[in-house]
Structure 1
Amino acid sequence: MADPAPNAVARMLGLLGDEWTLLVVQQGLLGATRYGDFRERLPISNSVLTARLRSLTDEGLLERHSYQSNPPRSEYVVTDRGRSLWPVLLSIWEWERHWVPDHSDPLPDMRHRACAGDFSPLATCASCGEVATDKDVVAQWGPSGSWSRSIPAAATRRRSGSDSAAGLFPQTMSIMGNRWGFALLVAAFVGMSRFTDFQSQLGAPPGSIADRLSILAANGVFETSDSRYRLTEKGRALFPVLVTALEWAQRWYTAPEGPAVELIHTTCGGPFRLVLTCDQCSEPLRGGDVSALQKSL
């Protein structure tokens, strides 16, 4: 009997748990379309950029268009699937602004065109309209959910010192730009805290788990006590990033039997779907109304 197909969580971890994917999409949303645009904006080697553009095209986040035949030249345009990552990027932007003070250049404020205010996005429950945190939301496996189906099979490429992801989100890339790091964050949010549980449930090599746990702790996302690894306040603030990534994945990578993860908002008892709202006018945010990300979002 064949193994069950990877679910939406596995597809998300395999794709977004890579330090270059979000950065390439980010630059696409900021106007990069041609190979030279990406190469100029990112400290990325030719081979890695070529591979990422190919994988993002294969996954439907970018669409390749030929604009010259002799010699052949193509541009890469962000698709609806790629563009719909804007809530993830917006949540990362907010987290980096508040929790990572050592940016070489401070991140700009975000302007909500609908109310003309400089704003912060609020994670709000679509069912009841109340602001929610990770403490208000319970996650449970859905019909296609299990740890065995949620771990991507592909190995994450280890970066070299000369091939380091930078850009607007340096610490996010450090802690989430690896499938095991991303998976550890997901596991911690559902209550896992022991090394042995991380290793057995995720099926990762012990060395990989130890390496990523040390990075998460060094960045202040995890704290250790009693041989357990628990999320800090800084780590818990990543809640909107993880939920927007999960919702993106379950929108685009549906399973015939149903979702991989189901979220319940304990405050209202209804299913939890995260809506980002403006803290100035309380209206739901739309990508096209956020000037700090990109005018054309």
Structure 2
Amino acid sequence: MKPPDLAQTRQALTQSPLSQGLQLIGDRWTVAVLLGAFLGLRRFEAWQSELGIPRHTLTQRLKALTALGLLRQRPYQTKPVRMGYHLTTQGLQLYPQVLMMWVWARRWGAAQMTLPPSLLHKPCGHNFSPHMCCAQCNERVGVNDLTFSLQINPEMATAEAPRQRAPRLAARADGAQGGLGLRVDRWTLLIVSAVLLGCHHFDQLSQVLGIGSSVLARRLAGMEESALLLCQADTNDARRKIYRLAPASRDLFGYIICFSSWASRHHFKQANTIRSVHKGCGHAFVPKVVCSCCGEGLVPWDVGFEGGED
């Protein structure tokens, strides 16, 4: 296998809508607040009770998500005035990755909150699992069904400016809890992405991700311990280790590519620096999340769940 061009890979990953989008809404509390919104939470006290989130932290997250245009305030009480938070049209565009989050968390992770045990697709009347398909040919797609190429987009190098309209929400450096559960955070998703792009050695990952050696070593060890990475001795050089994706991290692919598509098409509105092509039909891959029973695309108002609103 041809080794990756590390300089190009670093530039493409750093400038990618995935990386820059995760800086905005990739920390564990922001992801949990968004998930709560899709599960019907509207009031400040409901989020705080469900998540156990500190009041100041919740205030910051709600303010940031409102500034980003993903949530909007609406009064639910007039005397005194109390405001609820509702998903906007832009916020509803996050639904595909929310469904992929549900799939992964139900199989592999402990989520920040209690997730519905099953989902009901109202139009066909069946409980279902969300499946990711190619929007062009409607075939179900996994990571092995795509080819990847890198294309630098100079416009994304200056995409910092729009982000400053909302407070910058950095992921926790210690990685204690991630947005998808106890083991996943922004850096975990970027490491998985780098491995997908062919970076399997420590020095390659360090150069591409720009992480200090000691921090990266802790990250990789934690991911190996959590069964997110497989670590093997390099048969060509016993002094080196090779990192490969484990089943749990391969299953993060659906969330990663749906998030990347949202950030590219809906938020930054810029071409993705990491291009994917569906081998089956030969078209540029655009993810579409569908009902496993009827094959129709999924929208929030057509999906019911235990405890959800009608």
Shorter chain as denominator, the TM-score bin is 0.7 to 0.9
Structure 1 position 115 matched with structure 2 position 124: yes
Structure 1 position 195 matched with structure 2 position 205: no
User: Partner of 1:215 in structure 2?
Assistant: 222
CA displacement, residues 63-92 of structure 1 (integer Å, 9 cap, x when unaligned): 234566776643222112222211111111
1:160 to 1:138, Cα distance in 2 relative to 1, 3 A? closer
Q: Distance in 2 between matches of 1:10 and 1:73?
A: 35
CA displacement, residues 210-252 of structure 1 (integer Å, 9 cap, x when unaligned): 2322232222121100202110122212211111111111122
Aligned partner of residue 281 in structure 1, secondary structure = coil
Which amino acid letter does the alignment assign opposite residue 266 of structure 1? K
Aligned partner of residue 199 in structure 2, secondary structure = coil
Structure 1 position 282 matched with structure 2 position 295: yes
Moved over 6 A (4+): 101-106, 145-154
Unaligned stretches of 5+ in structure 1?
none
User: Partner of 1:39 in structure 2?
Assistant: 48
Q: Distance in 2 between matches of 1:150 and 1:78?
A: 24
Aligned partner of residue 183 in structure 2, secondary structure = helix
Structure 1 position 248 matched with structure 2 position 262: yes
The 8 Å contact of residues 14 and 154 in structure 1, kept in 2 or not, is answered as yes
Q: Distance in 2 between matches of 1:266 and 1:142?
A: 18
Structure 1 position 181 matched with structure 2 position 188: yes
Aligned partner of residue 249 in structure 1, secondary structure = helix
1:7 to 1:64, Cα distance in 2 relative to 1, 3 A? farther
Aligned partner of residue 103 in structure 2, secondary structure = helix
Residue 159 of structure 1 deviates from its aligned partner by 7.1
Aligned partner of residue 124 in structure 2, secondary structure = coil
1:118 to 1:48, Cα distance in 2 relative to 1, 3 A? same
Structure 1 window deviating more from structure 2 (114-123 vs 69-78): it is 69-78
The 8 Å contact of residues 18 and 256 in structure 2, kept in 1 or not, is answered as no
Aligned partner of residue 305 in structure 2, secondary structure = coil
Same amino acid, percent of matched pairs? 27
* Match of residue 272, structure 2, among 240, 243, 259: 259
Residue 42 of structure 1 deviates from its aligned partner by 0.9
TM-score, with normalisation over the residues of structure 2? 0.79
User: Partner of 1:157 in structure 2?
Assistant: 172
The 8 Å contact of residues 145 and 260 in structure 1, kept in 2 or not, is answered as no
Q: Distance in 2 between matches of 1:85 and 1:67?
A: 24
Which amino acid letter does the alignment assign opposite residue 183 of structure 2? I
Unaligned stretches of 5+ in structure 2?
1-10, 234-240
Structure 1 window deviating more from structure 2 (80-89 vs 102-111): it is 102-111
Aligned partner of residue 83 in structure 2, secondary structure = strand
TM-score, with normalisation over the residues of structure 1? 0.82
User: Partner of 1:23 in structure 2?
Assistant: 32
Aligned partner of residue 192 in structure 1, secondary structure = coil
Q: Distance in 1 between matches of 2:137 and 2:269?
A: 27
Aligned partner of residue 282 in structure 1, secondary structure = coil
Aligned partner of residue 176 in structure 1, secondary structure = coil
Q: Distance in 2 between matches of 1:248 and 1:274?
A: 10
Structure 1 window deviating more from structure 2 (6-15 vs 101-110): it is 101-110
Structure 1 position 87 matched with structure 2 position 96: yes
Which amino acid letter does the alignment assign opposite residue 233 of structure 1? P
Residue 31 of structure 1 deviates from its aligned partner by 2.2
User: Partner of 2:141 in structure 1?
Assistant: 132
Which amino acid letter does the alignment assign opposite residue 85 of structure 2? Y
Q: Distance in 2 between matches of 1:208 and 1:72?
A: 46
1:235 to 1:157, Cα distance in 2 relative to 1, 3 A? closer
Residue 155 of structure 1 deviates from its aligned partner by 4.1
User: Partner of 1:235 in structure 2?
Assistant: 249
Residue 125 of structure 1 deviates from its aligned partner by 1.1
Structure 1 window deviating more from structure 2 (3-12 vs 131-140): it is 3-12
What is the aligned residue count?
Answer: 286
CA displacement, residues 146-177 of structure 1 (integer Å, 9 cap, x when unaligned): 9988999974335798xx67xxx7xx333332
Residue 183 of structure 1 deviates from its aligned partner by 1.1
